[in-house]
Structure 1
Amino acid sequence: MTSSVPAFKLRPPVQPPHALTRPRLLHRLDVATEPVVVLSAPAGAGKTVLLTEWARGPAAGGTCAWLGVDARDNAPERLWAGIARAVRQAGADLPRGLGERVWTAESWLDETLPALLTAVGAAGPLTLVLDGLEAVTDTGTWRTLGDLLTRLPPGVRVVLSTRHRPGAPLPTLSARGLVAELDLHDLAFTPEEARAVLTALLGSEPGAADARALYEATEGWAAGLCLMGRALARSGNAPRTQPWAARGRQAVTAYLTTEVLDRLTTEQRRFLLRTGVLAELGAGACQALAGDRAGVLLDDLARTVQLLVPVTGETSAYRHHRALAALLTDVMASEEADTVAALHRSAARWYARQGRTTEAVRHWTLGGDEAEAVAAVLDGWEKEISAGRGARVARWLDVLSRRTVAADARLCVVAAMTALADGVPAAACRWLDVALLRETGDRSLGAGGTVADAAAAVRAVARCLEGEVLDAGRLGDLAVTGNLPLTSWRALAATARGTALLWTGRYAEAETLLGEASRDAQACGHGLALVRALGLRTVCALLAGRPGPARALSDEAHREIAAAGLARHFVSVPAYLGRAGLLLGADRLDEAEQALAAAEAVLADPSRTVGEPHLRALCLAVRARLEYARHDTDAARGARRAAERAAAACESPGVLTDLLGRAGGHRPVAPSAEPRPEDLSAGERRVLRALCGSLTLREIASELYVSHNTVKTQVRAIFRKLGAHDRTEAVTRARECGVL
């Protein structure tokens, strides 16, 4: 070994101006008890600045030896000459000539390493810092370093600072708990630290918007934050010939070009540039853009560049650090602008083959092929919606321009269905209005469906969700099922019409249509429609006094909810209410509480605006029955009053007065003075029966062939005799007392 080691390599460098003391990281180094500490992070992450402050303080733990490693140390004789000189300068009593002998592999293991270990072990607490170890790429040199690291005597620590994730023997030592590691995530500035750095650079507290923009652009990367901060500071005193952010980005680009891009091989550089169009770097997508060796290059660059950030939850998948992504965009724009669109289209084809429509739509759009993007959305939306993944389809539509969606009637219907699946029927109706204005273009949608059929089915479901219940004369508005083939549209239309029949008390007809809806939904694999239809059939069977079929339907509905993962989706509410009613009837109050609480939680979700007033009223009614069963009279009365108010606000509220009573058997506590049947005249009883339906007082008068004033007089008498304030309460009291 030669002893010619420059003195400047044996001491920490001078700290840069405005260097920030980082107590949280100094503390991490202070409390580390492992014999090996590794700081592995990309260029500019602040490794040297942190170690310089730590090594000069008392916390380094005894004597501290420092060696700044560079490319000249990429041979064992050079590296160990430097280490020997650093350790000797720190006060260790090394044997004379230890760093001066001619290097041989035999003398290393037989003489040099044992003498070095003995000397440093006798020197007391000693910390050796090797800064810039990425310069050592020679396999033999790393092997000798591994010999030292695996044989460290007590009281001796080695701190390694490197831009590359180190290889053997570090993974083995780490598995044995002998290595403490700090990476880019640990070294990144927190928002508070970033604000302190910017304050030092600017001389005053930065604006909140500027601080947030800088932090997001750099992700807390130290070099980027300082470069951008200096650009911002200069803009305060110099004419703004260009925005400070552009100047800062140029400075970051120049830094990364020098410290990262220019150090790559031609193959690595080409790979990094061609895959710069990807939001996520996986081996398959990279191979589609950069060739068969892409997987090898990806792993190698992830280890050496370290500005490829692992994607949480993915295996061997990365994303570009935002600063690196900006650099790649700039370089591609200047060097290979003509190939960028082609790369996006290649990526889109690969993602389409993998069934990853979100990424395919994004790349088709960026590649300038909007027609393919639209085709991808139309090809994949129905499967996602039917499985309750409407948010994914919403992201596809967001990638397309709003003008593109609004110009295509098919996409308008998709947008409407997406809004409907997310529980926003008003937005769905707005999109349907736009769809009907589009008279040109392809009018087919799905297998055998048309835009008109689809729009009719979606509008019908939207009206039901908003609480509109059609009377017998208008139910034909929903009779679109006969013209539709066996598709999800037919299932949706049948569900809507069946719902209307259910809330008007026509249970047999409702069951028929809802049965058709569930069969159609099951046949075409539409999970949302199937769960909703089965839940409504459960409620229908309960209201019709058929608990046996209701139990079977409830079990089937809950199996489908579990299988489709729709426990938190609003289509599951009818199934929850149906099960709660069944459990109440069986006096299983705790289980009924669980089912009812599930319904209440979904209905209370603030992210949805779906109304469904009938289901909300029914939910309150079941809550009242449950509290009565628990003999909590105050809570029951409060829930009952809320249920009555909710029912009164519904179209056709009469059916809600049942409150599942006939199915469950629990009756609210009746007033002490119950009216008798003979207290009501024959005419009043006829009007009372009519009040159970949805007819207005004028329509009741017409049906009974009496005047409107006569009906109003009889209604007032009914309210007085039953102690009621409105028609819903009157019907409820009449049922409770046996008058009806």
Structure 2
Amino acid sequence: MSPGTTVGVPRLSRDHLSRPRLLAALGDGELPLRVVRAPAGYGKTALLAEWARGRPDGSATVWVTADDECATRLGFWSRVVALLATVHPGLAGVEVGADAVGHLPTLLPPLLDAADRPLTLVVDAAERVDPRVEQDLLRLVRHTARLELAVGTRRDGELTDPATQLSLDAVTVGPRTLAFTADESARLASELRSPLTTEQVAALHETSDGWPLAVRAGLRPQREHPWPAAGENDQLSRLQRMLVGDLEQLPGFDDLVLLSVVDGVGVRQAELLGVDLDGHPILAAVEDRGLGGWEDGLGEPRFRLQPLVRDALRRRLDDDRLRDVHRRLVDWYEDRGERAAAFESAVIAQEWQRARTHLGQAFREVAGGLDKHWVRRADVPRPVLRAQPLLALFVGVAHYAVGDVAKAVRMLTAGVATAEWQRLSRHGRVSVDHVWIQGMLTLGLRFAGRDELVQPALRRLHGMLPRAADPTGELDHLRPLIVTQTASTHLLLDRVDDAVRALADRPAGTVRGSGALHPESLTVLAHASAGRVTLARAALAELVEPGLPRFFNAGFYAIPKHVGAAYVHLEDHRPDAAADALAQVLPHWPTMEWWPLVLHARTLQRWHADGPAEALRLLESGLDEKSRKPLGAAMRAMLTAQRAELLLAAGRPAEARRLIPSRRIRPYPRLAVAKARGLLLDGDHARALAITVAPEHEHRGTPRDRLHLSLIAASARLRSGDPAAAARAFADAVALSGDTGLRSPFAAMPRSDLRTLAAEHPALRADIGRFPALFPEPDALVSLTRRESAVLAELATSDTLPVIAGRLGVAAGTVKSQCRAVYRKLGVSGRDDAVAEARRRGLL
């Protein structure tokens, strides 16, 4: 037979989409075991077939699709041995009988090892075979070096057991990996010549979460499913009808609709709903179509529908029946201690007081256990929100979490809180509801970016807490939450020291799970942001991986920890480690309130790793992406100061100067640092010095701000001809650095000044020398426009001026004029000299 022989491998369909990332995940080298596990409809067979056809020359691949004839152990091995014998004559004489089948895993290895080429066995639909076959296959691949095994299956088993993966060099590809990416959905649409627009394809991908069956169905409109039908006005409705429409004709459809109220239902829970899952006629049909299937969980197995299918079925329940089902589920979840599920069922069942009770007693547990999109499925009437301020606060926060910022702000601030405050305050004493109403105001103003109103609202809230009448102890349960939200508010107001004090005064609580570590996570960020690196490092050491709850690092509560860790890693000259820390935050980027702090940290990391030009691009793209998000004055000042300093570092002082008028810097030490640095680099030493010694910055600035200002003062005094005063200012900075562990501000000094002033501190000079020079020398700074800076960056490439002009979208003559302006400002006469001079000055 010819090299690269394949036996029984299915042909690829005309509309097959090749996905190189999946082939790379399976690998093309020698590997004992590969498993592709997912429900029907995920493309397991197509992936394995493409991979099998790409096996290297000189190998042989045999494909077996399990069916009724080979479901038994004897039937399976009879077929496998017969097929293997077609590519390896040494197996031709092996007889498979009922008595000998159990010995085959021991008999076959020496025969397979005698093969003249590597063999690959692919078993598709492996969920149909006798479980003992999995044990046989594992014994076989463990004892032969000439056979590789690839398996496609719908269910977990011994082949997918973690112990198996550890004992063998194995690869498993699961549903998450098999799901289409947005780019793959777009490529498939192009290959299928789908009539959908680019926007519709993107919406299809998002609503289906890349589920291959749904994406393919949506991209290929069929004659029996015209779109739109009566009452359908969007692509999602049509897709759901395509998936579940013909299920209505099957017996037990009403039971399936009833089961859709639960995201994965076990046998006992189904009995509570009045459905017997044992041998239910419709479940097999649902599983065969890839619309759902059995999953092994921590407890009993659950039958889980695909989210799109579940949503389509759940819409067929009328409101009365839906509420009745959830009333029963509230009791079920309460008995099992599942607070989040009990809360959601109570909301849907309109059991408002029970929902309030769960929030009051386990706010964090409820918030952490809910799918963040639950609020879009809930309908809480306005009168209930007025009567239950804690519930209104929680619903408002939930809207913010899914990106409905305007709705959250309206809910928390518009009319509800004001009206209720006026009504309740007539009683002459503070109730728990007073506290939650004030909390609604504070959060709403924070979400809206109204910094000037947030601070008095927060002070009022804390003034109410000691006076609140709380007979049930509800506030005692939630005081840890109030502390963390207070600290979060202070951090978003850039009042870092206030955040540290709030966290230091937190009461000892009984919070469990990831929420219990939220204060520690905030503490890392607070200390790192302030520049107290030694304290941040100590706080970070308390959150080491082995002692953290499962998935803590991927969750919301870990965001401050990751941002703080990035700052610490940058102090250790490790921009790659900082990037790794921030990468764990990015899944939350679309909806997080922390985005200004995350953007600041990401930009700083990019500056240290790739220079100011790349960092400036990242900052500006992030601001453009979040342009519709409310941004408070403090966070705006923080990012404006960073942008101004990046413009200075990139050799664009004129633009930096326009960003920060002198009248704006008084309330914000970060702006004062950027302004003073710009004046220093411009040669205006007197004005730079005046800013650094202003008294308001001493008591409002963080140690980081004060260290920057001290170093700018030292440079200004040195360049003004007062070396003794410069040495004193530098000594103060060194002392502050020693107290805090903060080093990076020294890298922002002009290097010539650092060499002069740090002559008596060789260890410090060696440490700072490992940082990149963040700013050009003052005498090297030239005032380039934005366009001139872009042209200068292009000159560093090997492209010709016409190519550069095309990339910049201007005429070649315009680029030549800008080149002449750049040469004049740099004092050079040609392109190569301009690039060399720009590199010397730190502009490239």
User: Are the counterparts in 2 of residues 60 and 127 from structure 1 also a CA contact under 8 Å?
Assistant: no
2:129 to 133, 136, 147: 136
Partner of 1:55: 52
1:230 to 220, 225, 230: 220
2:16 to 16, 19, 32: 19
Partner of 1:249: 240
Tell me, in whole angstroms, the C-alpha distance in 2 between the residues paired with 1:439 and 1:78: 76
Matched, 1:277 2:261: yes
Tell me, in whole angstroms, the C-alpha distance in 2 between the residues paired with 1:169 and 1:176: 12
Matched, 1:403 2:399: no
Matched, 1:86 2:68: no
- AA of the residue aligned to 1:160: V
User: Are the counterparts in 2 of residues 92 and 120 from structure 1 also a CA contact under 8 Å?
Assistant: no
Percent identical among aligned pairs is 18
1:415 and 1:432, CA in 2 relative to 1: closer, same or farther beyond 3 A? farther
Deviation track 1:126-170 (CA, whole Å, cap 9, x = no partner) reads 212222221113x4444444443333x322222222222232696
User: Are the counterparts in 2 of residues 309 and 318 from structure 1 also a CA contact under 8 Å?
Assistant: yes
User: Are the counterparts in 1 of residues 340 and 370 from structure 2 also a CA contact under 8 Å?
Assistant: yes
2:157 to 150, 166, 180: 166
1:531 and 1:521, CA in 2 relative to 1: closer, same or farther beyond 3 A? farther
- AA of the residue aligned to 2:142: T
Q: Secondary structure at the match of 1:128?
A: strand
- AA of the residue aligned to 1:528: V
Deviation track 1:49-80 (CA, whole Å, cap 9, x = no partner) reads 22223333453761122222202212222112
Deviation track 1:530-589 (CA, whole Å, cap 9, x = no partner) reads 978xx9xxxxxx9xxxxxxx9x9899559999998457879x989998999xxxxxxxxx
More divergent stretch after superposition (394-403 vs 18-27): 394-403
CA displacement at 1:232 relative to structure 2: 6.9
1:164 and 1:637, CA in 2 relative to 1: closer, same or farther beyond 3 A? same
1:272 and 1:345, CA in 2 relative to 1: closer, same or farther beyond 3 A? same
CA RMSD of aligned residues (A): 7.0
Matched, 1:125 2:118: yes
User: Are the counterparts in 1 of residues 451 and 634 from structure 2 also a CA contact under 8 Å?
Assistant: yes
Tell me, in whole angstroms, the C-alpha distance in 2 between the residues paired with 1:523 and 1:184: 39
Partner of 1:221: 211
User: Are the counterparts in 2 of residues 218 and 224 from structure 1 also a CA contact under 8 Å?
Assistant: yes
CA displacement at 1:89 relative to structure 2: 2.5
User: Which segments of 5 or more consecutive residues in structure 1 lack a partner in the other structure?
Assistant: 1-8, 295-299, 471-476, 489-519, 536-541, 543-549, 581-592, 648-654, 660-665, 673-740
Tell me, in whole angstroms, the C-alpha distance in 2 between the residues paired with 1:446 and 1:395: 39
1:104 to 94, 98, 105: 98
Tell me, in whole angstroms, the C-alpha distance in 2 between the residues paired with 1:329 and 1:479: 43
Partner of 1:210: 200
- AA of the residue aligned to 2:141: L
Partner of 2:824: none
- AA of the residue aligned to 1:17: R
Tell me, in whole angstroms, the C-alpha distance in 1 between the residues paired with 2:370 and 2:258: 27
Deviation track 1:610-666 (CA, whole Å, cap 9, x = no partner) reads 668999956639977xx99xx99979955965997999xxxxxxx999x9xxxxxx9
Q: Secondary structure at the match of 1:161?
A: strand
CA displacement at 1:18 relative to structure 2: 0.9
- AA of the residue aligned to 2:380: S
Tell me, in whole angstroms, the C-alpha distance in 2 between the residues paired with 1:68 and 1:189: 25
Q: Secondary structure at the match of 1:365?
A: helix
Partner of 2:831: none
User: Which segments of 5 or more consecutive residues in structure 2 lack a partner in the other structure?
Assistant: 1-5, 279-283, 491-496, 510-514, 534-566, 572-595, 602-625, 639-664, 704-709, 721-844
Tell me, in whole angstroms, the C-alpha distance in 2 between the residues paired with 1:442 and 1:274: 42
Matched, 1:365 2:365: no
Tell me, in whole angstroms, the C-alpha distance in 2 between the residues paired with 1:253 and 1:327: 7
- AA of the residue aligned to 1:202: R
Partner of 1:31: 28
Tell me, in whole angstroms, the C-alpha distance in 2 between the residues paired with 1:574 and 1:145: 55
1:444-455 to 2 correspondence within 5 Å?
449=431
Matched, 1:188 2:143: no
Q: Secondary structure at the match of 1:59?
A: coil
1:44 and 1:444, CA in 2 relative to 1: closer, same or farther beyond 3 A? farther
Deviation track 1:339-370 (CA, whole Å, cap 9, x = no partner) reads 54333233334555677655444322322434
TM-score (norm 1): 0.54
2:669 to 598, 611, 620: 620
Q: Secondary structure at the match of 1:31?
A: coil
User: Are the counterparts in 1 of residues 28 and 55 from structure 2 also a CA contact under 8 Å?
Assistant: no
User: Are the counterparts in 2 of residues 256 and 327 from structure 1 also a CA contact under 8 Å?
Assistant: no
Deviation track 1:17-47 (CA, whole Å, cap 9, x = no partner) reads 3112223333444524212222222112212
Tell me, in whole angstroms, the C-alpha distance in 2 between the residues paired with 1:90 and 1:407: 76
Tell me, in whole angstroms, the C-alpha distance in 2 between the residues paired with 1:445 and 1:354: 39
Deviation track 1:409-428 (CA, whole Å, cap 9, x = no partner) reads 74598579979x9999x969
Which structure: larger Rg?
1
Q: Secondary structure at the match of 2:345?
A: helix
Tell me, in whole angstroms, the C-alpha distance in 1 between the residues paired with 2:522 and 2:67: 60
1:263-662 to 2 correspondence within 5 Å?
276-279=260-263, 324-330=306-312, 340-351=322-333, 358-370=340-352, 372-374=354-356, 376-377=358-359, 379-380=360-361, 399=378, 401=380, 403-404=382-383, 407-408=386-387, 410=389, 414=393, 431=413, 433-437=415-419, 449=431, 466=452, 484-485=467-468, 528=483, 565-566=518-519, 620=669, 637-638=687-688, 641=691
User: Are the counterparts in 2 of residues 231 and 245 from structure 1 also a CA contact under 8 Å?
Assistant: no
1:242 and 1:199, CA in 2 relative to 1: closer, same or farther beyond 3 A? farther
Tell me, in whole angstroms, the C-alpha distance in 2 between the residues paired with 1:602 and 1:158: 45
CA displacement at 1:247 relative to structure 2: 4.4
Q: Secondary structure at the match of 1:66?
A: strand
Partner of 1:69: 66
Q: Secondary structure at the match of 2:148?
A: strand
CA displacement at 1:326 relative to structure 2: 3.6
User: Are the counterparts in 2 of residues 228 and 249 from structure 1 also a CA contact under 8 Å?
Assistant: no
1:319 and 1:185, CA in 2 relative to 1: closer, same or farther beyond 3 A? farther
- AA of the residue aligned to 2:327: R
TM-score (norm 2): 0.48
CA displacement at 1:83 relative to structure 2: 0.9
Q: Secondary structure at the match of 1:45?
A: coil
- AA of the residue aligned to 1:126: L
1:136 and 1:438, CA in 2 relative to 1: closer, same or farther beyond 3 A? same
Partner of 2:142: 150
Deviation track 1:299-353 (CA, whole Å, cap 9, x = no partner) reads x9xx998957999xx96799997x7234345556669997543332333345556
- AA of the residue aligned to 1:39: V
Tell me, in whole angstroms, the C-alpha distance in 2 between the residues paired with 1:478 and 1:108: 76
Tell me, in whole angstroms, the C-alpha distance in 1 between the residues paired with 2:46 and 2:183: 18
User: Are the counterparts in 2 of residues 42 and 184 from structure 1 also a CA contact under 8 Å?
Assistant: yes
1:255 and 1:214, CA in 2 relative to 1: closer, same or farther beyond 3 A? farther
User: Are the counterparts in 1 of residues 431 and 470 from structure 2 also a CA contact under 8 Å?
Assistant: yes
Tell me, in whole angstroms, the C-alpha distance in 2 between the residues paired with 1:108 and 1:482: 75
1:34 and 1:567, CA in 2 relative to 1: closer, same or farther beyond 3 A? closer
Q: Secondary structure at the match of 2:35?
A: strand
Partner of 1:690: none
- AA of the residue aligned to 1:345: R
- AA of the residue aligned to 2:181: T
Tell me, in whole angstroms, the C-alpha distance in 1 between the residues paired with 2:70 and 2:417: 70
- AA of the residue aligned to 1:150: R
CA displacement at 1:182 relative to structure 2: 2.0
Partner of 2:189: 198
1:307 and 1:417, CA in 2 relative to 1: closer, same or farther beyond 3 A? closer
Q: Secondary structure at the match of 2:41?
A: coil
Q: Secondary structure at the match of 2:205?
A: helix
Tell me, in whole angstroms, the C-alpha distance in 2 between the residues paired with 1:22 and 1:241: 37
